[in-house]
Amino acid sequence: MRVLRDRAETIAADNERTAALVKQATKSGEPALRVWTPHQHVAFGRRDARTEGYDRARRYAERHGYPAIEREVGGRAVAFTGSTIAVVHAMPDADRTAIQSRYERASDRLRDALTSLGVDAREGEPDRSFCPGTHSLQAGGKLAGLAQRVHQSVALTSAVVLVRDHDAVAEVLGPVYDELGVPFDPDTVGSVARAGGPTDPERVCDALVDAFSA
């Protein structure tokens, strides 16, 4: 499996790097994994972009130092602080209808990584969490969420893992979710550090690469 760890110079270049990795995985048939800490930004979902308050939400995020982008995978807005980890696992020739089994595998790997860091995470999330979904991990708040994008020839499983900065994430997402009209309780934001794990994103990245490569 090809593994990529570094961050590109800009948010746009970073997105291009992921797209190139996925394209290469599709072409070669070799699975690929990217684990990194993206630049600070807020990634909005497609549904967010259709809400009445979307422009206001974008402006709020950008005024507070979080450039706004729209992301390809599903779900609602997610904030990356610079220490937040993104995971993209590209599986070529994947069965388009194996959504649940891919979630289960990815969730197990995430939990394995967190366990190796001393964090006892369990499935699920508190009510009114950010990017609410059915495949999240929590430990003193939501600290990781999973999503999938399914193409004809490749399936992408993506994860967001909050290492620290849970207060900063709550601070920016509170007003953003208000503008989007999506219920959100800032107290539900967790992190690896808040759950007693390390504060160094590199340590968490190492554990994630090990778990997803196993």
Partner 1 sequence: MSFDIPEDCRYLASHEWAREEDGTVRIGISDFAQDELGDVVFVELPDEGEELDREDDFGVIESIKAVSDIYAPLAGTVTATNDVLLDDPELVNDDPYGEGWMIELDPEESLDHLLSPDEYADQIE
Closest CA to 39 of 4, 68, 76: 68
Read out DSSP for 115-165?
A: HHTT---EE---TT-SS--SSEEESSSEEEEEEEEE-SSEEEEEEEE--S-
Look up residue 159 and give its amino acid: A
Nearest distance, CB of residue 5 and partner 1, angstroms: 25
Is 101 strand, coil or helix?
helix
Task: Identify which of residues 5 and 46 has a Cβ nearer to partner 1 in the complex.
Answer: 46
> Which amino acid makes up residue 50?
R
Minimum Å distance from CB 203 to partner 1?
30
In angstroms, give the least distance from the CB of 82 to partner 1. 26
Q: How far apart, in whole angstroms, are the C-alpha atoms of residue 192 and residue 147? A: 19
CA dihedral 106, 46, 83, 120 (to 10 degrees): -40
Distance of closest approach, residue 195 Cβ to partner 1, in angstroms: 26
CA 37 – CA 17 distance, rounded (Å): 13
Torsion sign across C-alpha atoms 6, 11, 17, 19: positive
Select from 5, 71, 12 the least CA-distant residue to 44.
71
Where along the sequence are the contacts to partner 1 (CB under 8 A)?
Answer: 45-47, 50, 72-74, 96-97, 99-100, 103, 133-135, 147-152
For partner 1, the closer CB: 37 or 148: 148
CB of 213 to partner 1, least distance (A): 23
Which residue, 90 or 195, has its beta carbon nearer to partner 1?
Answer: 90
Q: Nearer to partner 1 by C-beta: 105 or 149?
A: 149
Kindly state the smallest distance separating residue 158's Cβ from partner 1, in Å: 10
